[in-house]
Structure formats: structure tokens, C-alpha cells
Structure 1
Amino acid sequence: MIQIAIISDIHANVIALNEVLKDIENRSIYQTYCLGDLVDFAPWGNEVIEKIKNKGIPCLLGNHDERIAFDHPVVPLAHHDQQETANRFVAINHSKAEITSENKKWLAGLPYNLELTYKINEVTKKILLVHAGLLSNDTYIYEADSKNDIAQKLKDKGIEAIIMGHTHLSYQQKHSGVLFVNSGSVGRSRERDRKATYCLLTITEKEITAEIIKVDYDIQEVAQQIYNSAIPDFYGDFLLNK
């Protein structure tokens, strides 16, 4: 049996990240992967990047990481209202100013996806890690969405499980023999409890299974630090479900 932890969407929330990494360590999990989006919306973008770097956690390039690394323009999103759009512009431009040039260079070198192959005795198991989708870091794949085309493409490559983030909503489901898992968000969960969320994969000769783990952290402290920073209060209110 092999177990790996998969984290995603930390969004500069180092307090949540610390609690998740502590939980992973307490479970004696020795392999951790990150699906990206280390930056934006909380005050610790550089600290989060440094922690991922220093711990040697393999990490993907999230859409927010890409925007900061390559200074892509901020554009409105169709599913955001006028208030969130205005606050998003301020928050992302804050990251562009605060993230160091060294950390931007590190982000720019991150891979787009990772295909993992594990061998247990004579059985191989293949897993694909993506930030959002197969072809785009801006794709939203929700639990209720059709998985027919994706499942077929994965089966053609012998991939038995795909793990993604981006939506900040965790789930797992089987479709046409392929396990689809959204690992949720460590630092900016959209789920009602707002807890730091990650995925624990268990790989055996027989199958790949997933468990969604939720971890408590001091949400009030994170919100207060957002209020004390140049990041819009909108993001502190969000964490407190205001």
C-alpha cells in the first residue's frame, strides 16, 4: 500500500498550510504533491512559496501562479459580480507587487501537470495531477459536470485517477472506471465550513481510493491579518462567511 497527500489552492494562507502539513506529518504520510495556486487573497504569498520550496514539495503551476509569474493582465470573470471583480483586481495587483522576483522565477518554472506511475509488486497504477483541467488552467470541472470525454482520454492512456483543484470544492466520484477527485482548497475553501481541505490517496494492487481530509485552523486570525493588510476586507469576510 502507498499513500500520498495532495494539497491545492493555498492562496497565500500560510496558517492553513501549516496546519495541513502538520496533519499530513501526524499521519506519517511521506509524499506530498501540490496542485498550485500558492498566491493571492491572503498576506503570506512569499511565505507559502518559500515553505513549498524548502520542503521540496513537487508543485504544479496554478492559474494564479501563472498570472503572477508572467505578469498576465487581470481580466474580469463571468461568474464574478461587480464587487468581487473590483476586489480581485486589487488583491492580484497587490501580489504582483509583493511577490519577489526570485519567487516569480520559481513559479514560472513549475510544470503544468504531473503523471505519476506507481508499481506495487507487478501491478502499475497511473495517476494524473492537474490544477484545473487537461488543456486549460481556467477550466472548472464540478461534480455534476459530464466526465465522458475526459474519462475516455484518461482510459486511453491507462490513467486510473485524476486529481484536480481550482474550484475550491472537494469531491470524489467514479466515472467509467476512472476516479475523479477534487482535493478542495487549503487556504480559501468555498465549502460552508471553510476548513482547510486536502486529499489522501491510497494506492494498492487492487485499486486507488481517496479520502477528503478537513483540518481546523485559526480562520479568525487569518481574516484579521487580511483586515490589517492592503488586501481588500472582502477576502477576510469571505473566510468568515460574512
Structure 2
Amino acid sequence: TRVLCAFGDSLTTDHISPSSEIPVDTPAGQYLVQAGVAPRNFNTFVGRRGNFEVMVRGTFANVRLRNALTPDREGGWTLHFPDRALTTVYEAAQAYQRDGIPVIVLGGKEYGTGSSRDWAAKGSALLGVKAVIAESFERIHRANLIGMGVLPLRFREGEGWCQLGLDGSELFAFEGVEAGVAQGRPMRVIATGSNGTVIRFEVQPEVRTAAERHLMAAGGLPKSVLRDLLETAPACA
């Protein structure tokens, strides 16, 4: 498991899924250009929210976004590991998905604060994000992440990715995931750096109710609904 992005405190849902006009020189803008849409007709991300191809490309693409993996650049940029290639968040996510590598996001306090923008969770899931590890979560965004099958994990009190000495380049492994989701037990995380340094720590799954546990076990609301429909569908004669 690799880190797609790492953020500080108070990352808003607008940082994650912007409402702004769509810049032409971004993955979302280039998708529209290739679809034959003139830049003057791009509209905003809000205006295109029915187009998942645009919205997933716009996730973590706010022009004012500050990703700690690329501290000298604003916008939807990140590093792809282990080669540390500078690329867009969308292109890095696509590369990880092609290679079958799950990704996570690191955050600080109040992750997902701001308006309850559902695409902030939807876009994260479509990018292949399996979990977000943060110091705390905004209530509605935490629930939206669970609804999309993205596991919210909380650092122990007084800990965070900076305090633990993480920089986002590590390879992550998780232990006790099933018990963590089903029983609320702490999960163990092992982060291995490129030089072999190992950092071990615990995180607390922020899955609080039986309904949320059911959703996480099913992989999120869309998969849960599909499974329920398949289970209740009458057999063909």
C-alpha cells in the first residue's frame, strides 16, 4: 500500500473535490478537450458533477491544494513511488491501479471539514483510496467515506504522520483489519521506508455503528445495495 497524498490540518471537502471552474491544463480539462468540448464550455466541477470521468479527475485537484509530498507545488500534484516521479494525483492513482497497488491518504486534524460534498468521498474511492489515516475527521465526511467503502482510521491521541516520522514515501502494511472493522479494535500499521527503516503504530477504525460496519464489510453503499438486490432477486424459471 502506497500513500497517494499527505495533508496537514483542516483539509476541506472543497480541497478534495473543488467547485471551481475546470482548468484546461488539468486531467479533467484535458478529458473534456479530448471529448470535443471547447474550453469556454467547460463550466465548473459542480456543473459537471453528473460526469464521473470529470469528477474523478478533479479529485484532489483544487488549484490551491497543498500536498506535503510536493511542497513546492500547488494543485493536484503528487509523487509516484517508488520512483518518486512528479505527476498528477489522477495519473499516479491510475498507475497504482494498473499495478494492483492500493493507496491511502494521510491527513491531520479535521480532515474533510466544510460542506458535506459527496463527491469528496466518491472521488477518493474511484481513485482507489482504501483508507484515510488522520488525527480527526469531520462527522459527515467520515460517514460519507464509509458509505463509499473508504476506511477512516484515526491516529492515537497525540500522534500524527509528522510526529511519527513518516514522510509518505513508505510502503504500508496493515494488520487486524477484519477485527478492527467488525469489533472496533485498534489496527496495527507497519510503514517501511526505502532504506529499510520500519515505523510501527496503531490506528483506531472510526466505524461506530452496526450499520457502518455492515457497509464497510460490503465495500460501501453501492456494493451493499447491489449485493442485497442480487440476494433478493427471484430465481429464473
Q: TM-score with structure 1 length normalisation?
A: 0.28
Q: Looking at both structures, which has the greater relative contact order when contacts are Cα pairs under 8 Å and sequence separation is at least 6?
A: 1
Q: TM-score with structure 2 length normalisation?
A: 0.28
